[in-house]
Amino acid sequence: MMLILGIALGALAILVSVSLHEAGHMLTAKMFGMKVTRYFIGFGPTLWSFRRGETEYGIKGIPLGGFVKITGMTPQEEDADDPRAMWRYPVWKRTIVMVAGSVVHFILAFLIFWLVAANFSLTNPDNPGPAATDVSKAPAYLTVASCVPKDLTSGDCTTTDGPALAAGLKDGDLITAVGTTQVANYADLVTAIRALTPGTSTPITYVRDGQTSTATVTPVEAQRPPIDNTDGEVKKVAAIGVGLGYDPSKPKTVEYNAIEALPVAGDQMGAAATGVVTSIKNLPNKIPGLIDAIGGGQRDADSPVSVVGASRLTGEAIERGFWEIALLIIAGLNFFVGVFNLLPLLPLDGGHIAIAWFERARSWIYARLGKRDPGRVDYYKLMPLTYAVILVFGAFTLLTVTADVVNPITIFK
**pLDDT, tens only, 71-93:** 988 777 777 778 898 989 999 99
Number of H helices, E strands in the chain: 9, 12
Q: Do β-strands 122-123 and 235-239 pair in parallel, antiparallel, or remain unpaired?
A: unpaired
Pick from 287-301, 304-318, 322-336, 381-395: least confident = 287-301
Q: Is 50 exposed, middle or buried (0-12, 13-18, 19+ CB in 10 A)?
A: exposed
Domain boundaries, the chain: 129-244
Residue 69: pLDDT over 80: yes
Average pLDDT value over all residues in the chain: 87
Residues 99-121 have pLDDT tens digits of 999 999 999 999 999 999 999 98
pLDDT of amino acid 152: 63
**What is the mean pLDDT of the segment spanning 390-412?**
86
Residue 307: pLDDT over 60: yes
pLDDT of amino acid 207: 94
Which tops the pLDDT comparison, 111 or 220?
Answer: 111
pLDDT of amino acid 66: 86
CA-to-CA distance for 308 and 135, rounded, in angstroms?
A: 32
- Torsion angle defined by CA atoms of residues 181, 185, 189 and 195, in that order, rounded to the nearest 10 degrees: -60
CA angle centred on 323, ends 318 and 325, rounded to 5°: 95
| Fold topology of 129-244 | Pdz3 Domain (2.30.42)
Q: What is the pTM of this model?
A: 0.82
Query: Is 221 an annotated catalytic residue?
Result: no
